[in-house]
Amino acid sequence: MQGLFRVAVLPGDGIGPEVVAEAVKVLKAVEEVQGPLFLFQEGLIGGCAVDATAVPLPAETISICNNSHAILLGAVGGPQWDNKRPEVRPEQGLLQLRQRLGLYVNLRPAKVLDSLVGISSLKPDIVRGTDLVIVRELLGGIYFGNPRGIFARDGERIGINTEVYREHEIERVAHRAFQLARVRRNHVTSVDKANVLESSRLWREVVTRIGRSYPDVQLDHLYVDNCAMQLIEKPTRFDVILTSNMFGDILSDESAVLSGSIGLLPSASLGERYALYEPIHGSAPDIAGRKRANPVAAIACGAMMLRYSCRMEAAAQAIEAAIERVLKRGVRTADFPGRSRPVSTSRMGDLIAIEVKRILKSGQQATHPRKKR
């Protein structure tokens, strides 16, 4: 390996700084075993950036990200910024960052660990064995299409948002989904609303064409409402779910509850050059500063960073195995039900970091190596 990996650390708002600190702690545990690997540089984003600079994404933060191999982000937003003008809302910082860096695909894994199957909202015999990834297109669709806005017409106000997809936008995210399926279980489910929406008809046509280039990967199509139902009825049927920006936003939050806690799940937003890693939970301002936040999702983001940006698969597996072993021992943070004496945010990070070092020093393989199954 040549040089060090430059990592932009954007803690953000609410519980973001607390959970990101634990992710960095675990990455430093990897360094303790394998030697210097990372150069961390912090920047402002979201509400804290608005307070300090009057904008949600300062130029200095953009510069830090442009000069980094990967970006580790906590969370943005909170009620204290709800009355800000739309262009300076904390969430705009994240949307602007995705656009500036060309992060067009979002990966959201949802895996139910055997040790946690009992806390899922679903019955154990339904949810046990769930291991899926939602591949969400991130820069197109209704969130970015024009025209958009609230207008006055014929004596009343109307709200307009426009769903727009270009062929190349669908092609590039589809290739990512099929490539990911090849290192998993060779199955892609493309989700759309082609019975109603022209944009979805184009989506289905393009995905079908791209799928012919991957004859080893099974492709099927579902309407989004059917997919939402089947995620609850039979989540184990899914491997890779490929879908549009808005549908992916909704379905990924639905899949998050399968695991039993939104505090467990990481995500990766990838482009051709840059990558951003963030837990899928929000800023949770009601528990910020109370040492109650679950850092597992942020720590798992560190594993995804090692896998996709640093190409350090063994270290990524070590973090994932460490998380599972600590949880299997019954260690829980306050977001888990039925635990009278949960551990603090930092204690959970400490225990995972200790386990990571133990695994790396012993040369043990991760519990679930990533390979075709």
Q: Which residues are catalytic?
A: 143, 193, 225, 249, 253
CB crowding 10-36: b at 16 or more within 10 Å, else e? bbbbbbbbbbbbbbbbbbebbeeeeee
Burial of 52: CB neighbours in 10 Å, binned 0-12, 13-18, 19+: exposed
Q: What angle do CA 7, 11, 14 make, to 5 degrees?
A: 165
Cβ count near 179 (within 10 Å) = 13
Residue 257 CA, chain-centre distance (Å), reads: 14
Does a cis peptide bond (omega within 30 degrees of 0) precede residue 147? yes
Any idea what DSSP says for residue 364? P
329 burial via Cβ count (<10 Å: 0-12, 13-18, 19+): exposed
340's tokens: 């009278």
User: Do residues 74 and 15 touch, judged by C-beta distance below 8 A?
Assistant: yes
Give the DSSP H/E element, type plus range, for residue 229: helix 224-233
Q: Which residues 6+ apart lie within 8 Å of 169 measured at CB?
A: 104, 137, 139, 140
Distance of CA 163 to the CA centre of its chain: 23
Of 176, 99, 105, 168, nearest in space to 138 by CA:
105
Instruction: Specify the DSSP element, H or E, that contains 39.
Output: strand 38-42
Q: Give the Cα-Cα-Cα angle 266, 138, 286 (nearest 5 degrees).
A: 45
